[in-house]
Amino acid sequence: EVHPQNPLLTSWHDLHNPLQKAGHASIVQTQDGDWYLAHLMGRPLKRPGKKLLEERGFCPLGRETAIQKLEWRDGWPYVIGGNSPSVEVEAPDLPEVTWEADFPEKDDFRTGQLNHHFQTLRIPFNEEIGSLTERDSHLRLYGRESLHSQFTQAHVARRWQHFSFEAETKVEFEPDTFQQMAGLTCYYNIRNWVFVHVTWHEEKGKIIDIMICDQFKADRPIHGSEIQVPDEAAAVYLRVSVRGDHYFFSYSIDGETWKEIPVQFDAYKLSDDYVDQGGFFTGAFVGMCAIDMTGSRKPADFDYFSYKAKP
């Protein structure tokens, strides 16, 4: 028997609703008898100059979870306010329960395992990719295949969870060739990513460079203007600043004085909605990667990784 107002919840017909892709829900009842609907949805970014009927927007945060309040009428559940999701709903009349943050804002890699927000690509983190014990309080990644690879990448990353945030790391890496790279990634899949990294230049020596992959088309936006790393610098600090519809990178040699790399990137391009072959609701990731296409597995040591939401 079909619901009189089928579907129970949808945002397909409501292009102005900031909560799109609403569905895949679970009906729950509180101990006081109130009923709620916990459901998936996405919050798309709208590109300036684009009309609503041209595109529904892009979701770099992937699928998120929202909640609606339910009422029962004639034996059927209905979403209060109609079958479109609401941004704010009445909370249950229950004592507030709070949870402490389940990961450090700055992870110094002092434990013997990755915190559970980090993920690796296709295979679990193991000695083929890296180590948390080879060097105390460091994540060591052994250079593996490129960010295009569908096999073994030494790539440890976590999801974007905010429209505005900063992620930062400190990396020690001594490349011998341009085929060896280590640094900070913003990543969706093997066809869509940006990689700011330390590598080797035959004329300039150790440098900071950027590689991008947009719909499987690679580019180097600062080619010819690569940043030379001083010979005495043991480490390089790298930071990405995500600001809603765009993001950019900065670097530091001493961890105090930062310089912005003057190239901006579109956040919407790391979204379920932009990637070719269709997205898979994961959204964008930010993380650390080491590449060594010579096969010698040159190690890169990451001293910390921080992720901080911004207003």
Domain boundaries, the chain: 1-98, 106-309
CA distance 41 to 22: 4
CA distance 112 to 131: 9
Whether 19 has a pLDDT exceeding 90, the answer reads yes
Name the token pair of 61.
């945060």
Mind listing the pLDDT tens digit for each residue in 136-165? 999 999 999 999 999 999 999 999 999 999
Q: What is the pLDDT of residue 29?
A: 97
Whether 54 has a pLDDT exceeding 90, the answer reads no
Close Cβ partners of 219 (under 8 Å, ≥ 6 residues apart): 211, 212, 213
CA distance 281 to 276: 13
> What CATH number labels 106-309?
2.60.120.200
- In DSSP terms, 75 is beta-bridged to none
Dihedral of CA atoms 219, 225, 227, 228 in degrees, nearest 10, equals 120
Asked if residue 285 lies in contact with residue 271, where contact means CB atoms within 8 angstroms, the answer is no
CA distance 133 to 256: 28
Q: What is the pLDDT of residue 56?
A: 87
Asked if residue 288 lies in contact with residue 139, where contact means CB atoms within 8 angstroms, the answer is yes
Higher pLDDT, 277 or 232: 232
The answer to whether the pTM exceeds 0.85 is yes
